[in-house]
Amino acid sequence: MVFKQGFDVNAGYSDELTALHLAMVRYKDQPCPEKLLDLFIDRALADDTQDHTGCTALHEAITHNASLRIVKKLLQEDLYLDIMDNDDNTPLHLAAETLNPEVTKLLL
């Protein structure tokens, strides 16, 4: 529905968060809604856009414990993996910091 109405889902809203950033942050205390994220990623919404903290969707996915499948799907989008957030963390730094060995291996 949102896509059919011409809503720009790539636009940054509050604190420069895109719809994909918001989905990752909103579900931080539960598994990410994979069908919603699949839809966003399939609509080419996975890019290197950074929010006000310098985080990309990949940073958010790792920080908020998205499933390994979602991280793999994001990585298929040819994202730039060395982007640092405002604290100089790359996605790899965050994966190691959150003690996520599977994601850390993917990023190496």
Cut 0.85: pTM above it: no
Q: Number of helices and strands (H, E) in the chain? A: 6, 0
User: pLDDT tens for residues 52-82?
Assistant: 889 888 898 898 887 788 888 888 877 889 9
Q: Are 47 and 15 in contact (CB under 8 A)?
A: no
pLDDT tens digits, 21-31: 666 666 555 55
Only one residue has tokens 């940054």, namely 12
Q: What secondary structure does DSSP assign to 16-37, as a single string?
A: G--HHHHHHHHTTTS---HHHH
Which is more confidently placed, 77 or 13? 77
Angstrom distance (rounded) from CA 103 to CA 3: 31
* pLDDT score of 5 more than 80: no
Domains of the chain and any CATH numbers:
14-107 (1.25.40.20)
The pLDDT of residue 48 is above 90: no
In the DSSP assignment, the letter for residue 12 is -
Confidence of residue 102 (pLDDT cuts 50, 70, 90): very high
